[in-house]
Amino acid sequence: MARVATIDLPGLGGTLGPRSALDARGLSSAPADWLRRTGREGAVLVVSSAGCQVVADLASHTGGLLGPVVFLGPTVDRSARSAIRQLRRLLLDIPRERLSLIPLVAADYLRCGPRRIAGTARCLLADDVEHKPHHLRTATVVIRGERDPLVPRAWAREVAAPLPRGRLVELCGAGHAVHHGAPEAVALLVRALFPGARA
């Protein structure tokens, strides 16, 4: 049986961080340090939304730490790289998600605070993530929900295309938070794609 560990990035979730928001490089240093410190180099990493940007950045500076990677709904679509467009897409996504997601996201946002959320969003909107996926040399799967307005099919294809060992999978009926809307399907995919991989 695989062991699963979760990490919160600095200033997000329950982890303390610096007063100002970190950019993708600042955020990606934390999982790199964690992988080294815990001896989990080469473990399967499953990341969602902006977490995909963080791991893509990690690959660009410390790719040797990475094992197989699963991107769930990778952001930010470069054709909609503005706060207004992203907010519009986020609002379109709300009715496509399970209602149980709303209090979870609201609690996370409250814990981080509006200043941290806005600062992190600005940093991630400025991140040219499209120039980083080719650094991922390990097996990588991009999974998007078929109904995800934040990650259109064309953007998911663009993220998957330069991956040397990558592929794209779409989950029917799911929105952006595909891990919450279709957790069983995501788990089955991860197990099927990486049997025996270190978790």
Report the pLDDT value the prediction gives residue 197, as an integer from 0 to 100: 59
- Inter-helix orientation angle 24-38/114-125, to 10°: 100
Beta bridge partners of 167: 141
Provide the mean pLDDT of the chain: 91
pLDDT in tens, 14-43: 777 788 888 999 999 999 999 999 999 999
Residue found under tokens 């969003």: 121
Mean pLDDT across the stretch 97-109? 90
Residue found under tokens 């990475």: 66
pLDDT of residue 149 exceeding 80, the answer is yes
Maximum alpha-carbon separation in the chain: 44
pLDDT of residue 130 exceeding 90, the answer is yes
Report the pLDDT value the prediction gives residue 7, as an integer from 0 to 100: 84
pLDDT in tens, 52-95: 999 999 999 998 999 999 999 999 999 999 999 999 999 999 99
pLDDT in tens, 152-189: 999 999 999 999 889 999 999 999 999 999 999 999 98
Side-by-side strand order, sheet with 140-145? 45-48, 69-72, 140-145, 166-171
CATH topology of domain 42-193: Rossmann fold (3.40.50)
Model confidence band, residue 1 (pLDDT cutoffs 50, 70, 90):
low
Total residue count of the chain as it appears in this document: 199
Q: Structural domain boundaries of the chain?
A: 42-193
